[in-house]
Amino acid sequence: MDAFVRQLAVLSVLWSLSELLLPEGRLKKMARMTVSVLVMAALVSGLGSLMDIQVESALPAAADAVAGGESYTRAALSAAANQAEAYCVYLARRAGYEARAAVYLTLEGAVDHIDLWLTAGEAPLIDAEAVARTVAEELAVPRERIRLEGNEASGP
């Protein structure tokens, strides 16, 4: 509820600034319409949360549109990299290794390269090279872009 009140306060300040700073005419009408839509979206979002209804807020989307969507893109790339890292660690652990992974993505979201650190567990089931090949196949990355490191890079 606290965030809802803050959203309304920020939007009211935005509304008053647009009223004061913009000249008369078409530009002022467009600014009024934009701020009105944002206030309505905040109200609908707040009412939805009060009634336990999931409503997507238009405020983050509007902020991303103004900022060029950079924060959303960065968050999406970070989430994709984290998911790929977790999957690499999962595959290595299934093969009997303790693992850490670092996945580096391009700005388009493609995998640039992967650093995979493997340490042999009690009894590795397959060699480290096979783990790297499996990761390459599963993530559709050329094997050359996966760098193996650690004290077990060649297998049993």
| 98-143 tens-digit pLDDT | 888 888 888 777 888 888 888 887 776 678 888 888 888 888 888 8
Task: Supply the pLDDT for residue 155.
Answer: 42
**Is-contact 8 40, C-beta < 8 A?**
no
| Confidence at residue 48, expressed as pLDDT on a 0 to 100 scale | 66
Token code pair at residue 75 = 């968050």
CATH number of residue 128's parent domain: 3.30.300.30
What number is the average pLDDT over the span 136-155?
A: 75
Where does a domain end: 38, 66, 94? 66
- The reply to whether 11 and 77 lie within a common domain is no
* Tokens representing residue 57 in the block: 């807020």
Verify that 44 and 101 share a domain, yes or no.
Answer: no
Domain that holds residue 82: 73-149
Looking at the fold, whether 6 and 49 belong to one and the same domain comes out as yes
User: 80 and 143: one domain?
Assistant: yes
Which of 134, 133, 76 lies closest to 105 in space, CA to CA?
Answer: 76
